[in-house]
Chains A and B, each alone.
Chain A
Amino acid sequence: MRERIILIGLLSAVLLLVGCGGPSAESGSSDSCDMDNPPLFEKDGLTVATDKPAYPPWFKGDPKNYSGYEGDVASEIAGRMDLPIKWTVEPFNKSYAPGAKDFDFDINQITITPEREQAVDFSNGYFDNAQGVLVMKDSPAASAKSVSDLKDLTIGAQVGTTGLDFVNETIKPTADPKVYDSTNDAKSALESGQIDAIVTDLVTTVYLRDFEIDGSAVVGQYPRNEQFGMLFEQGNPLVDCVNQALGEMKSDGTLEELEQKHLQQFLDVPTLEK
Chain B
Amino acid sequence: MAEGGPAAPGPSAGRGSRALGNRGVLVSSASTVLFFAMIAVVVALAPGSGVVAERFFDPSHLWQSLVGSEGLPSVLGAFWLNVQIFMFSEVFILILALVIAVVRGIPGPVFFPFRLVAVAYTDLFRGVPLILVLYMIGFGVPGLDLGFISYLPDVAYGVISLVLVYSAYVAEVYRAGIESVHESQNVAARSLGLTRWQSLRFVVLPQAIRRVIPPLLNDFIGLQKDTALVSVLGSIEAARAAQIYGASEFNYASYVVAALLFVLITIPLARFTDRLIARDKRRREAGALA
Contact = CB atoms under 8 A, between A and B. Distances in A.
Interface of A: 1-3, 6-7, 10-11, 14-25, 93, 96-98, 115-116, 118-119, 156, 159-160, 164-165, 168-169, 176-181, 185-186, 188-189, 191-195
B236 A24 contact: no
A119 B58 CA distance: 16
B185 interface: no
Given A7-B32, A156-B234, A2 B249 contact: no
Given A115-B248, A160-B247, A178-B235, A14 B39 contact: yes
Interface centre among A1, A22, A164, A180 (most CB of B within 10 A): A22
B25 A2 contact: yes
Nearest to B35: A10
A18 B43 CA distance: 8
B231 to A, nearest CB: 7
Contacts of B243: 159-160
B233 to A, nearest CB: 8
Contacts of B233: 189, 194
Given A17-B40, A159-B244, A22 B50 contact: yes
A148 to B, nearest CB: 18
B95 interface: no
B247 A93 contact: yes
Contacts of A25: 50-51, 54
Nearest to A119: B250
Nearest to A161: B247
B269 to A, nearest CB: 17
Contacts of B17: 1-3
Contacts of B55: 98
Contacts of A160: 243-244, 247-248
A216 to B, nearest CB: 15
Contacts of A192: 139, 142-143, 150
Nearest to B240: A179
A173 B234 CA distance: 15
Nearest to A154: B234
A175 to B, nearest CB: 11
Nearest to B61: A19
